[in-house]
């Protein structure tokens, strides 16, 4: 089982480490990362393995949202299936 | 890995364009609850519903969290209650109270099925149930009622049509102090589908399995945004193509959530209803899609043609995206629930006659329309008869959910808030159809019914 994690917001020091720390805290393994910085807008998409999570996926989603809100970033964690079903036949 | 722009597109659809799953509706058969004692029957109904649906809301909320897609409503549809009344007799309002108690217990938004199917005549329990509808809807909050008065196979039961005009009026009268809310929870159908997940017309047909999950998707905002960002010189077949592709994506989401919900709840997955269901939220309007296609305002000449194209493209896109399609499946045009329709009704661009024409090419019918409070019951019956005739002849579902705004007149508004929105009171022709309606009897089934 994999989830897609997206981070969008104003670029600043430490976003990557903050998000990956939170992933580690939930025992989510980061599989792939792509990121771009357009002017000063940071946009990162991570594919994480959630089969070994130490909490419920909904709990991780909630924690990431809280983290994002506290740092002024928009962070979403969504099950990979939703993207696959929408964009792949 | 997934394409970045695909990921961002999905997130944009949900965050900015109001893409959501409108409803997960659990259909529950109550035939096993029939009992000759009405109190025993009500208790069985209550127990069966809370047993089957105990995890419905929780499962819906978890899916919302995990997949990141809002699921606006969790609902229940049950076997038409008239069938239980047939066995038990007694006051049907007791069943409505049992349904309300069950809805409160499991935490669903609505429970549909206070219904009767009378397209070919009244069976035991039917008339008692229909007469009890006003009180049942007035003393409950979550219960929805529907009555099927016609079908392509059977024709139209004019006695039922006459009765329903009176019932709709009565619903408004006894909830006059609450924005006539009871009539907004009552739908009069022709060719009612047995697996419709949308309220107020949802019920669990007698041909359905014991328990089933049906899903209704939404997404007018996504379609409008796709059209808005497309080049302005697309020809109309390219417009249809674009709507089709967008509908495909929306429906895939519904299919995924529906099948996952069914799996987790341990019940079979029924259908995805391919409907564009608007909300009063800005950017979530079917009228605005029609305006994006090129109309100055919804209701202008050309509205019916644009709606026909929209409705067809949504189905074509959706059919391939889903394993089983059912319910109403088409664009909804509820006036009070659609910001663009509200504006068009206020400005006079949209009238009931135009809406009637639109119902010939899209799903549902005259939906959430407020009419002057002094409209006689015969006129309401005649509106129902007109709409049922369109459904009967075109072999499609049509419905009427109109709200006589008792105590108010044309130009004033009913204000519901939430998903029900605002209903500007629209003028109705006042010439009397009373002699026609009072004839009673059955309008014969049309030639279209003889397909065997």
pLDDT in tens, A7-57: 999 988 888 899 999 999 999 999 999 988 877 888 899 999 999 999 988
Q: Which two tokens stand for residue B395?
A: 């072999």
* Among B406, B404, B284, residue whose Cα is nearest residue B342: B284
Contact B66 A4 (CB under 8 A): no
Condensed to tens digits (0 to 9), the pLDDT of residues B264-320 reads 999 999 999 988 889 888 888 999 999 999 999 999 999 999 999 999 999 999 999
- How many residues appear in chain A? 89
- Structure-token pair, residue B165: 């005009």
A82 vs B67: CB contact, 8 Å cut-off?
yes
User: Given an 8 Å threshold on Cβ–Cβ distance, is B11 in contact with A81?
Assistant: no
Distance CA B21, CA B250 (A): 9
Instruction: Check residue B385 and give its pLDDT.
Output: 97
Contact state of B67 with A78 under an 8 Å Cβ cutoff: yes
Q: Which chain A residues touch B6 with a CB distance below 8 Å?
A: 83, 86-87
Q: What is the DSSP letter of B245?
A: H
Residue-averaged pLDDT of chain B? 93
CB atoms within 10 A of CB B123: 14
Give the pTM.
0.91
Q: Do A83 and B69 touch (CB under 8 A)?
A: no
Q: What is the pLDDT of residues B141-181, one digit of tens each?
A: 999 999 999 999 999 999 999 999 999 999 999 999 999 99
pLDDT digits (tens, 9 = 90+) for B229-247: 999 899 999 999 999 999 9
Nearest Cα neighbor of B360 from B327, B396, B329 is B396
pLDDT score, position B439: 96
d(CA B122, CA B328): 25
Token pair in block for residue B377: 């019951």
Rounded to whole angstroms, the Cα distance separating B380 from B376 reads 7
Residue pointed to by tokens 């409160």: B104
Inter-residue contact B404 to B375 (CB < 8 Å): yes
HSE-up of residue B59 (Cα within 13 Å, Cβ side) = 24
Domains of chain B with CATH codes: 28-190 (3.20.70.20), 218-441 (3.20.70.20)
User: Which of A1, A38, A78 best probes binding to B when mutated, by most B CB atoms within 10 angstroms?
Assistant: A78
Residue B27's DSSP bridge partners are B77, B212
Q: What is the per-residue pLDDT across B423-439, written as a single tens digit (0 to 9) for each? A: 999 999 999 999 999 99
Question: Which two three-digit tokens encode residue B337?
Answer: 């629930």
Three-class SS of residue A36? Answer: strand
Residues of A in contact with B67 (CB under 8 A): 78-79, 81-82
Residue B1 clears pLDDT 70, i.e. is over it:
no
Structure tokens at B16: 């900015």
Fold of A2-87: Alpha-Beta Plaits (3.30.70)
Q: Where are the domains of chain A?
A: 2-87
């Amino acid at each position: 089982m994999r989830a897609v994690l997206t981070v969008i917001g104003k670029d600043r020091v430490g976003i990557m480490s903050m998000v990956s720390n939170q992933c580690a805290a939930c025992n989510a393994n980061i599989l792939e990362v792509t990121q771009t910085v357009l002017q000063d807008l940071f946009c990162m998409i991570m594919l994480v393995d959630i089969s070994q999570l130490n909490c419920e996926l909904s709990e991780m989603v909630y924690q990431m949202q809280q983290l994002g809100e506290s740092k002024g970033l928009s962070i979403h964690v969504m099950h990979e299936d939703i993207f696959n079903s929408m964009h792949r036949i | 890995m997934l394409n970045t722009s695909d990921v961002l597109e999905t997130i944009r659809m949900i965050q900015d364009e109001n893409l959501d799953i409108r409803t997960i509706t659990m259909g529950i058969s109550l035939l096993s609850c029939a009992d000759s004692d009405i109190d025993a029957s009500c208790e069985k109904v209550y127990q069966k519903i809370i047993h089957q649906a105990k995890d419905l809301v929780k499962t819906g909320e978890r899916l919302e969290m995990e997949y990141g897609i809002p699921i606006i409503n969790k609902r229940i549809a049950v076997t038409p209650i008239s069938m239980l009344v047939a066995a038990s007799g007694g006051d049907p309002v007791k069943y409505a109270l049992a349904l309300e108690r069950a809805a409160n217990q499991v935490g669903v938004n609505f429970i549909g099925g206070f219904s009767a199917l009378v397209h070919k005549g009244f069976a035991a329990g039917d008339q008692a149930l229909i007469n009890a509808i006003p009180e049942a809807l007035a003393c409950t909050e979550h219960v929805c009622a529907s009555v099927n008065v016609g079908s392509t196979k059977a024709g139209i039961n004019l006695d039922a049509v006459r009765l329903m005009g009176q019932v709709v009026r009565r619903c408004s009268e006894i909830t006059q102090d609450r924005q006539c809310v009871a009539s907004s929870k009552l739908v009069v159908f022709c060719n009612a589908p047995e697996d419709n997940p949308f309220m107020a017309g949802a019920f669990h047909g007698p041909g359905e399995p014991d328990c089933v999950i049906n899903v209704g998707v939404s997404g007018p905002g996504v379609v409008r945004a796709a059209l808005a960002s497309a080049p302005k010189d697309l020809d109309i077949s390219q417009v249809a193509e674009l709507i089709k592709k967008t509908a495909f994506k929306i429906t895939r989401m519904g299919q995924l959530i529906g099948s996952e919900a069914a799996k987790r709840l341990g019940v079979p997955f029924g259908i995805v209803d391919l409907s564009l269901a608007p909300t009063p939220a800005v950017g979530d309007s079917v009228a605005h899609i029609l305006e994006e296609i090129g109309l100055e305002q919804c209701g202008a000449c050309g509205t019916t043609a644009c709606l026909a194209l929209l409705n067809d493209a949504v189905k074509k896109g959706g059919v391939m995206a889903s394993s089983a399609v059912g319910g109403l499946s088409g664009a909804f045009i509820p006036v009070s629930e659609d910001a663009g329709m509200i504006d068009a009704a206020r400005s006079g661009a949209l009238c009931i006659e135009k809406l009637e024409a639109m119902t010939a090419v899209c799903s549902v019918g005259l939906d959430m329309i407020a009419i002057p409070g002094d409209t006689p019951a015969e006129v309401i019956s005649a509106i129902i008869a007109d709409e049922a005739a369109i459904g009967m002849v075109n072999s499609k579902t049509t419905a009427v959910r109109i709200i006589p705004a008792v105590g108010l007149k044309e130009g004033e508004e009913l204000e519901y808030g939430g998903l029900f929105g605002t209903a500007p009171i629209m003028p109705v022709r006042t010439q009397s159809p009373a002699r026609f309606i009072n004839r009673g009897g059955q309008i014969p089934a049309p030639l279209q019914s003889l397909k065997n």
